[in-house]
Amino acid sequence: QEYTGVKMEVVEWSPAAKAIESKVNGRKVFLVAATLRPETMYGQTNCFVGTSIKYGVFAINDTEAFVCTYRAARNMAFQGLSPERGQTQQLLEIDGAALVGTKIKAPFGLAPEVFVLPMDNVLGTKGTGVVTSVPSDSPDDFATVSDLRKKPEFYKIEREWVSIDPIPVLMTPTYGELTAPRLVEKLKIQSQKDVKQLAEAKEIAYKEGFYSGVMLVGEFKGLTVQEAKPKVRASMIEQGLAFAYAEPENLVISRSA
């Protein structure tokens, strides 16, 4: 599975994560999200972590540190993303819950700064355990953001952290410019707990976007999603905002399992 690792630089730590600042030796710290849809990065409105997942802050070199699961850091250590090949260098450990409310940069995002929010369905066993959120094109993200907006107190977040509306990124003939909200409505998805319908919606959104989508924004506006996808990715990597991150097949919990 070849992901794009998106580097979301920390702008301001949440109070609960503030202590990290003094323990990274002046390194820039990034939450790193694994995505299969780099072309949608213009529409990021926030980022998700699992509140009961343990994350580490890992030194990548002398100037940068990544926040992700230990499992992801270990994979990265075999892909040129560690001071010493195959060796992780963990600076500290932190609970996902403590990261919520941290303000980070969203590379290529039309909303350039976003907040870290909680999501129930983040898997610690896939990608980096950090998920960047694109409610315009990801039904899971739209359903979760809708839950958070309905019950901010329950999720222990500030209303302001979920204030960005879905941002149109691409257009499909069937669902228009907000594919995920349309699908959530059509399949009568009530919340992030409707995992079965969400899996179906995700499948449809992937296919529709990939085969029929046309870019509405960004450097490759007007190109089809199929054409734009590798170009957006290459552009992000070239600008130092992302990197290739591969995951060994047998470690991925596959959808059919």
Binding-site ranges for ligand ZZB (CB under 6 A): 34-37, 40, 121-123, 126-127, 129, 131-132, 134, 137-138, 202, 205-206, 255
Ordered DSSP codes for 139-161: HHHHHHHHHHHH-TTTTT--GGG
- Identify which of residues 132 and 172 has a Cβ nearer to ligand ZZB in the complex: 132
- Rounded distance between C-alpha atoms, residue 131 and residue 49, angstroms: 7
User: Of 19 and 107, which has the nearer Cβ to ligand ZZB?
Assistant: 107
Least CB distance to ligand ZZB at residue 131 (A)? 4
Give least dist CB 179 to ligand ZZB, A: 8
Q: How many helices (H) and strands (E) does the chain have?
A: 6, 12
CB of 180 to ligand ZZB, least distance (A): 7
Q: How far is the CB of 26 from ligand ZZB (least distance, A)?
A: 29
If the CB atoms of residues 24 and 111 are measured against ligand ZZB, the closer one turns out to be 111
Instruction: Count CB atoms within 10 A of the CB of residue 89.
Output: 16
Distance CA 176, CA 196 (A): 24
CA dist 244 and 31 (Å) reads 15
Output the smallest distance, CB 188 to ligand ZZB, in A.
Answer: 18
User: What element of type H or E holds 246?
Assistant: strand 242-246
| Beta carbon nearer to ligand ZZB, 17 or 232 | 232
Whichever of 35 and 88 has its CB closer to ligand ZZB, that residue is: 35
Query: Could you identify the residue written with the tokens 């509140």?
Result: 51
Tell me the two tokens of residue 110: 């039309």
